[in-house]
Amino acid sequence: MVNEEGLEKLRNTNAWIQFLNDKGEQVAAYYTPQKLQTVYSPVEIVQMYKYKEIDAETTVFAGEAHEFSYFVGVKDRGIGRYVLSYNYVHILKYFNIILLLFLTVDIIIALVIGLLFGKRLTTPLNTLIEGIQQLRERRFKKMSIPKGVYEDVFHNMNELSVKLDQYEKERDQLDQMREEWISNVSHDMKTPLASIHGYTELMKDNATELTPQELYEFTSIINRQSVYMKNLLDDLNLTMRLRNQRLPLHFEDVDIVGFIREMTIELLNDSQFGDRQVEFEANVDKAMHKVDKNLLKRAIFNFIYNALVHNDENVVVKIQIDDIHLQSEHHTQITIADNGRGIPSKDLDQVLNATIEVRILPVNMGPA
């Protein structure tokens, strides 16, 4: 009934085995102790399985194989056997209780985690909503950036707030500059208007008494004042177009030397500045550049007119053109200098302001 391999295992584990038929009689046995009985009643079989041990060192195990029952005894103090009895009804009852308790604890844990996670999600969202409301109300305030999934969103919101604040300040500054500019132009228009009005009244009241020379002088003054007023309005329009980036530039190849030389001649042919000292010096024969002739002419005349108008009649204005090298490249440098009294220190901060008052820059273009 037991092969050689099984017998070898019994010997190695210091065990024995006894086979019984359905009547409780021994039909085979291997390595069983001599005092082991060979016939068992049903009650003795149950007692043998549940309680009985051969000696203090032997533990007995029971089982069934085919039509036989068997006892296996192992002589080893380190081996023990426990018999577990249970009731299916009680087990099912306790299982239901444990399952219900587990589900309850699981729901409570899920609710706590949901509340904590929801609070962590909604708190930054509420802060973002408040920040958007502040932007709508033009209150540009930086928000503290939290760590986590909303970090990039808060960072972008702060950048947007900074840019909007910058745009708002620039717009306010432009509005203020525009108001100051209009106020200055209105103020400066009063002088030529008063002059034109005075001379026209004089000519109207004394039309028959004025000599041709006087009429020529009066009309020349009126013409100059009207041209001056036209320049004021043109410069206002030019400044606004520059500010709004709506001024198209018309570039063309121009010889800077010849262009400025012609401008100097044109200036000296003007009766208003014909007797003034304007010197032209070019240290290069020709300098070709792509420029907008009209805007360049306005800018250069602006400097020259400033030097002539804001100094006495003895001022010397020098226009010089040089070829210079910057970073291994050829550049043309235009220098306009005078020996006059210069710009008052209180006005130096505004010298690059394109909307500077006309009493500083009469043709209303900054030297930028």
Distance from C-alpha of 194 to C-alpha of 209, rounded to nearest angstrom: 22
At a CB cut-off of 8 Å and minimum separation 6, what does 12 contact? none
For residue 337, the enclosing domain spans 248-350
Question: The CATH number of the domain where 318 resides is what?
Answer: 3.30.565.10
69 lies in some domain: yes
Amino acid 141 reads K
Residues 210 and 255 both lie in one domain? no
Q: Provide the pLDDT for residue 148.
A: 66
Least confident range of 102-106, 130-134, 218-222:
130-134
Residues 259 and 331 both lie in one domain? yes
343 lies in some domain: yes
Last residue in a domain, options 186, 219, 240: 240
Residues 253 and 280 both lie in one domain? yes
Q: Where are the beta strands (DSSP E) in 100-169?
A: none
> Of the spans 2-16, 115-129, 179-193, which averages the highest pLDDT?
2-16
H/E segment holding residue 289: strand 288-291
At 191-243, the pLDDT tens digits run: 778 878 888 888 888 877 888 888 888 888 888 888 878 877 777 777 666 66
Mean pLDDT of 347-367: 44
140 lies in some domain: no
For tokens 């609710």, the residue is: 111
Q: Provide the pLDDT for residue 334.
A: 93
142 lies in some domain: no
Give percent above pLDDT 70 in the chain: 85
At 260-298, the pLDDT tens digits run: 999 899 888 877 777 889 999 999 999 999 998 888 888
Q: How confident is the prediction for the chain on average, in pLDDT? A: 79
Residues 339 and 296 both lie in one domain? yes
Least confident range of 14-18, 146-150, 348-352:
348-352
Q: Assign 254 a pLDDT band (cuts: 50, 70, 90).
A: very high
Q: How many domains are contained in the chain?
A: 3
20 lies in some domain: yes
Last residue in a domain, options 240, 259, 294: 240
70 lies in some domain: yes
Burial 227-240 (b: 16+ CB within 10 A, else e): ebbebbeebbebbe
197 lies in some domain: yes
Q: Assign 157 a pLDDT band (cuts: 50, 70, 90).
A: confident
Residues 195 and 255 both lie in one domain? no
Q: Helix, strand, or coil here: 346?
A: helix
Strand partners, 322: 333
Q: Provide the pLDDT for residue 104.
A: 92
Residues 252 and 185 both lie in one domain? no
Residues 300 and 260 both lie in one domain? yes
Question: The CATH number of the domain where 206 resides is what?
Answer: 1.10.287.130
Last residue in a domain, options 75, 101, 119: 75
Q: Provide the pLDDT for residue 78.
A: 73
66 lies in some domain: yes
